[in-house]
Amino acid sequence: MKIADIDLGERPVMLAPMEDVTDQSFRLICKELGADMTYSEFVSADALIRNIAATTRKLHINPSERPTAIQIYGREVEPMVEAARMVEEAHPDVLDINFGCPVKKVAGKGAGAGMLRDIPKMLEITRAVVKAVNIPVTVKTRLGWDHEHKIIVDLAEQLQDCGIAALAVHGRTRSQMYNGEADWEMIARVKENPRLHIPLIGNGDITTPQRLLDAFNRYGVDGVMVGRAAIGNPWIFHEMKQALKLGTADGVEPLPLAEKFAILRRQIDESIDRIDEYRGILHIRRHLAVSQLFKGIPSFRPTRIAMLRANTKAELFAIIDSVEKMLAEGVPVEPEQDLSQI
């Protein structure tokens, strides 16, 4: 699969853009573990052109993580064009436009998935951004605003006509948020459109190597984005790339437990180094809360609460060290029981 001249190989697996998740450190870890392409956190066009420091920091790219995309969002043409030009100066491989974020503070203001209620404006922004920069422009969006307005088949063709180099589709409407199941049959309908010739990337509920294989084999997409399933579990890319190589999910070997814990400690260290100890730990709690490392451990709730309340690196590492030791000694786990929520 190619995005313009960027060759991602056959059946690429990508790290989806996620706010407060896909910072530079996490992107690089996922890249090292097999992600073929990574995407930045959401970059607000309005905040970028006002030079808000927290936003401009999102433009930093580690050369080792390439190819990578920086994703912007906004609701007006001029700020989006100005932001696109600023992003181009950061030299990403791809500029992605976010027409898919469903959260109220974005979509409720007309940006992100909110653009699904104003298709003429969406197309105007897309055309203007494509014209303004010399790097490939892609779009990530959803099926439509709600169940009665699943417009993605026609919309995909319209976005292609604006000059985008690839399209990513999350298989839910904005109204669904992240509830229910992603509609991969609808994504397949987009791919089956004989007039669509740009690569189609599918997104939504890709949580296992088997689901990844299904996305390619049953629904025919050119690439797949992995989002929430990678939070706290970046080694999912290692497993998925094995499945693609084997052609089956059977026989996939997970990383050794010690390597997973080493990656988790690295995430904590790099989060602290990037911000500071207190805020770095706050940032990483989202990964700790859902990590597969801690699923199915009997009577783990008190330990999980202590881990998520730890305020210092020493305190947090002491808890993680004790859990690793317990697992290494062979504590029985209960795979059928999901204790990931506290």
Catalytic residue positions, numbered: 101
**Cα-flanking dihedrals φ and ψ of residue 298, to 5°?**
-60, 140
Q: What is the dihedral of CA 272, 273, 275, 276, to 10 degrees?
A: 60
Are 252 and 246 in contact by the 8 Å Cβ rule? The answer is yes
The answer to whether 4 touches 136, Cβ cutoff 8 Å, is yes
3-state helix/strand/coil string of 227-249: CHHHCCCCCHHHHHHHHHHHCCC
Residue 251: exposed, middle, or buried by beta-carbon count in 10 A (0-12, 13-18, 19+)?
A: exposed
Q: Mutual orientation of helices 313-328 and 257-274 as an angle, nearest 10°?
A: 170
- CA 63 remoteness from chain centre: 19
Half-sphere exposure of residue 111: CA atoms within 13 angstroms, side-chain side: 21
Query: What is the Cα–Cα distance from 263 to 63, expressed in whole angstroms?
Result: 20
Give, for 106, the enclosing helix (H) or strand (E).
helix 104-107
Contact 35, 14 (CB under 8 A): yes
Helix/strand/coil for 261: helix
Round to whole Å and give the CA distance between 283 and 286.
Answer: 7
Cα–Cα dist 102/114, whole Å = 7
- Sequence-distant (6+) residues with CB within 8 A of 112 are 42, 73, 98, 99, 100, 101, 102, 103, 106
Rounded Cα–Cα distance for residues 199 and 221 (Å): 8
